[in-house]
Amino acid sequence: MAGESAFLVEGVVTAALPNGTYRVALANGHDVLAFVTRRLKKTLAALRPGETVRLQMSPYDLSQGRIVVGTKQI
């Protein structure tokens, strides 16, 4: 129900911000604010600028997303 309308996109991390948030550039040129899921906080130490990630985004708010897969898992 909640995740049915969400979609996945790939992007590149451009900046690491405090508290597990990142600035991610998408292929279409937009920058979004993304955060890491709790599950990935345990497995990923930290993402660096330039790494490719996969984001889960809602069609209702395209300015932010959730990082669900890091480069080590793609």
Identify whether 74 is part of a domain.
no
Number of domains in the chain: 1
Q: Please, which residues have CB within 8 angstroms of residue 48's CB and are 6 or more apart in sequence?
A: 13, 16
Residue 15 lies in a domain: yes
What is the chain's Cα-based Rg?
Answer: 11
Q: What is this structure's pTM?
A: 0.80
Domain that holds residue 16: 7-69
Is 55 within the bounds of a domain?
yes
Residue 1 domain flag: no
Q: Residue 12: pLDDT above 90?
A: yes
Dihedral pair phi/psi, residue 44, rounded to 5°: -95, 125
Q: Answer for the pair 70, 34: CB distance below 8 angstroms, yes or no.
A: no
Q: pLDDT tens across 15-40, in order?
A: 999 888 999 999 999 999 999 877 77
Residues forming a β-bridge with 15? 23
Number of Cβ within a 10 Å radius of residue 12: 15
